[in-house]
């Protein structure tokens, strides 16, 4: 006797008004934003996406977030109840969408026409609602048709490999982040997982879902004609096959029948501004978030790369030596006006004012770092020489030619447009003045996969190699005076931070959570290994603006 196959439209009845009314409690919008950490925005921006169809929009979380980031968003879902709640959330959020309607995935090309979108996102484990193999093929065929050549499709699903092979477990950090909610399978089989969703008010609802294995989903995408299928686990690569909660599969529609992924588009001015705004926000959130706990307590007031010379010395001692090393290369007249951008907690600003008697304006986009930096400066009795204020180095709020020296340490790696940052530096420096900066580098030959892991830890949009900085400085009009490679200090710096984090693991487990501590320690170890392998470097540049 053959078991009756679950109908592909069964989810429509499962998403009752009561269930949909609880859905936002399950997601936890603030927690969801934090867990994704801009993953989808970075990916879509990297390929010049403008128009996005959120084809499993649910109550509209991703539609709203993507619209806030400047994408032209069309929202659709197979559930009318979900669409009604999404419309309400869109209105409350104050964003505008291109369109919002009920559409079955297999009818996308009929609803919107061929080649209508730059990207499709099908998120929230939604593709698991289809139980028939041919229905999945039909849905992907329709998605393929509605994408423009070179378009990008992102589909996610639970890590069913882990659920089927090792049993269910969850970190409760991704996707369903609401407080007091619970989502877990009550039935697990090869052909169906039935999940029960429990809410603080006592409501319980269930969904029947098809357990999509990772390789099978990738095969479906390739079978539909998509190319360059790449998998992420909880928004990171590489990942442990069984140790992540959710899988994100990214695939491309070929530009033509013989090519692979589309080339990256040249960004328009509007796209650059949108990307810049997002990067500034994500960088600020990173330094104002849990990272501040680690930076403040482990790095201390000086949050930069140390120059190690003595066996067993502390990072704090090595960082003081770095400041002295940089200072030895500088010529700073006593009454100079110095601009310190990305100042951290102001350690270099205080060092320069002490050593040279100069005035320093220390700027940053992290409110937490500015507040503590100002407090440390008052305690040091240097607040008559060092002032702190908020400023974004992409667009400095200062007149032309007013600073003798522009100073920065390991901050440009966070810049969305490094050429613009250097152009702004040139603008505000006096004729004959200098830019002095250090930055972490990623070498040209580093693989895409390694770059993504390097960028992920510090929320960097892109990192230069030394040759890139030489070219950019010259393009801005600077004459390079010092170009020093100090890369041998990167691995010892991050190894020291990691060892200190693990030494104080119990303390930080309580403060920021054991999972974040473990992920941070793993990411730091990757940086140590990458630096030892010559993939990450560190350099100091001093360049001069012509006196003419």
Residue partners of 389: CB distance under 8 A and separation at least 6: 361, 362, 363, 370
Nearest to 100 by CA among 141, 138, 67: 67
For residues 295 and 358, membership in a common domain is answered with yes
Number of domains in the chain: 2
Q: Which residue would you say has higher pLDDT here, 74 or 509?
A: 74
Residue-level pLDDT at 263: 38
Residue-level pLDDT at 290: 57
For residues 407 and 285, membership in a common domain is answered with yes
For residues 16 and 161, membership in a common domain is answered with yes
For residues 305 and 217, membership in a common domain is answered with no
For residues 290 and 154, membership in a common domain is answered with no
Query: For residue 477, is it within any domain?
Result: yes
Q: What is the CATH number of the domain that holds 320?
A: 3.40.50.150
Average pLDDT over residues 27-44: 85
For residues 235 and 325, membership in a common domain is answered with no
Query: For residue 457, is it within any domain?
Result: no
Strand 337-341 relative to strand 246-252, pairing: unpaired
Domain boundary (266, 284, 315) is at 266
Query: For residue 4, is it within any domain?
Result: no
Whether pLDDT at 523 is above 80: yes
Residue-level pLDDT at 49: 92
Is 312 exposed, middle or buried, given 0-12, 13-18 or 19+ CB atoms closer than 10 A? exposed
**Beta-carbon count within 10 A of 114 CB:** 11
Residue partners of 82: CB distance under 8 A and separation at least 6: 15, 20, 23, 57, 58, 59
For residues 369 and 436, membership in a common domain is answered with yes
Q: Which residue would you say has higher pLDDT here, 11 or 234?
A: 234
Query: For residue 524, is it within any domain?
Result: no
Query: For residue 499, is it within any domain?
Result: no
Three-state SS letters, 61-125: HHHHHHHHCCCEEEEEECCHHHHHHHHHHHHHHCCCCCEEEECCHHHHHHHHCCCCEEEEEECCC
Residue-level pLDDT at 482: 95
Q: Phi, psi at residue 187, to the nearest 5°?
A: -135, 130
Domain boundary (231, 266, 301) is at 266
Mean pLDDT of the chain: 88
- Which of 88-102, 283-297, 495-509 is least confident? 283-297
Q: Are 271 and 50 in contact (CB under 8 A)?
A: yes
- Structure token pair of residue 206: 């269930």
C-alpha to C-alpha distance for 380 and 369, rounded to whole angstroms: 16
Query: For residue 154, is it within any domain?
Result: yes
pLDDT tens for each residue of 393-445 = 999 999 999 999 999 999 999 888 899 999 999 999 999 999 999 999 999 99
For residues 367 and 329, membership in a common domain is answered with yes
Residue partners of 292: CB distance under 8 A and separation at least 6: 366, 368, 369
Nearest to 53 by CA among 135, 128, 155, 133: 155
Domain boundary (229, 249, 266) is at 266
**Beta-carbon count within 10 A of 239 CB:** 16
Residue-level pLDDT at 287: 53
Query: For residue 527, is it within any domain?
Result: no
For residues 396 and 297, membership in a common domain is answered with yes
C-alpha to C-alpha distance for 324 and 335, rounded to whole angstroms: 19
Report the percent of the chain where pLDDT is more than 70.
92
Whether pLDDT at 530 is above 80: yes
pLDDT tens for each residue of 137-160 = 999 999 999 999 999 999 999 999
pLDDT tens for each residue of 332-349 = 988 899 999 999 999 999
For residues 76 and 114, membership in a common domain is answered with yes
Residues 62-74 as b/e (b if ≥16 CB within 10 A, e otherwise) read bbbbbbebbbbbb
For residues 221 and 318, membership in a common domain is answered with no
C-alpha to C-alpha distance for 541 and 330, rounded to whole angstroms: 11
Q: What angle do CA 19, 21, 22 make, to 5 degrees?
A: 70
Note down the domain range covering 97. Answer: 10-176+209-266
Q: Are 355 and 327 in contact (CB under 8 A)?
A: yes
pLDDT tens for each residue of 435-480 = 999 999 999 999 888 888 888 777 777 899 999 999 999 999 999 9
For residues 388 and 319, membership in a common domain is answered with yes
Query: For residue 199, is it within any domain?
Result: no
């Amino acid at each position: 006797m053959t078991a009756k196959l679950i109908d592909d439209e069964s989810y429509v009845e499962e998403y009752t008004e009561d269930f949909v009314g609880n859905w936002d409690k399950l997601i936890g919008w603030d927690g969801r934003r934090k867990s994704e950490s801009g993953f989808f925005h970075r990916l879509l921006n990297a390929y010049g996406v403008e128009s996005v169809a959120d084809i499993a929009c649910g109550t509209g979380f991703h539609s709203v977030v993507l619209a806030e980031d400047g994408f032209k968003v069309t929202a659709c879902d197979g559930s009318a109840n979900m669409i009604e709640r999404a419309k309400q959330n869109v209105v409350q959020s104050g964003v505008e969408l291109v369109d919002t309607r009920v559409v079955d995935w297999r009818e996308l090309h009929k609803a919107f026409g061929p080649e209508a979108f730059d990207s499709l996102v099908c998120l929230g484990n939604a593709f698991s609602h289809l139980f028939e193999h041919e229905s999945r093929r039909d849905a992907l065929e329709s998605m393929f048709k509605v994408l423009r050549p070179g378009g990008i499709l992102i589909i996610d699903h639970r890590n069913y490999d882990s659920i089927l092979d090792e049993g269910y477990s969850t970190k409760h950090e991704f996707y369903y982040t609401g407080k007091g909610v619970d989502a877990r399978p009550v039935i697990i089989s090869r052909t169906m997982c039935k999940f029960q969703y429990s809410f603080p008010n006592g409501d319980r609802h269930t969904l029947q879902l098809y357990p999509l294995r990772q390789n099978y989903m990738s095969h479906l995408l390739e079978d539909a004609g998509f190319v360059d299928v790449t998998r992420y686990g909880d928004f990171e690569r590489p990942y442990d096959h069984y140790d992540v909660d959710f899988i994100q599969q990214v695939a491309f529609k070929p530009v033509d029948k013989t090519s692979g992924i589309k080339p990256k588009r040249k960004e328009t001015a509007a796209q650059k501004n949108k990307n810049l705004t997002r990067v500034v926000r994500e960088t600020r959130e990173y330094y104002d978030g849990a990272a501040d706990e680690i930076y403040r307590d482990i790095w201390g007031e000086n949050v930069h790369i140390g120059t190690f010379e003595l066996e067993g010395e502390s990072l704090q001692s090595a960082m003081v030596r770095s400041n002295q090393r940089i200072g030895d290369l500088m010529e700073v007249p006593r009454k100079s006006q110095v601009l310190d951008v990305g100042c951290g907690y102001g350690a270099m600003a205080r060092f320069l004012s002490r050593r040279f008697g100069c005035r320093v304006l220390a700027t940053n986009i992290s409110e937490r770092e500015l507040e503590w930096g100002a407090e440390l400066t008052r305690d040091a009795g240097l607040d008559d020489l060092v002032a702190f204020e908020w400023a974004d180095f992409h667009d400095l709020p200062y007149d032309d030619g007013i600073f003798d020296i522009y100073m920065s340490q390991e901050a440009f790696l966070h810049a969305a447009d490094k050429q613009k940052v250097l152009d702004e530096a040139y603008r505000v420096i006096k004729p004959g003045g200098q830019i002095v900066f250090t930055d972490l580098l990623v070498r040209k030959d580093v693989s895409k996969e390694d770059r993504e892991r390097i960028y992920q830890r510090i929320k960097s949009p892109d990192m230069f190699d030394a040759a890139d900085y030489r070219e950019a400085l010259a393009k801005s009009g600077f004459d390079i005076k010092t170009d020093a490679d100090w890369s041998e200090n990167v691995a010892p710096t991050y190894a020291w931070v990691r060892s200190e984090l693990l030494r104080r693991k119990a303390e930080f487990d309580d403060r920021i959570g054991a999972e974040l501590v473990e992920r941070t320690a793993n990411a730091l170890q990757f940086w140590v290994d990458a630096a030892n392998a010559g993939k990450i470097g560190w350099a100091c540049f001093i360049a001069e603006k012509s006196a003419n």
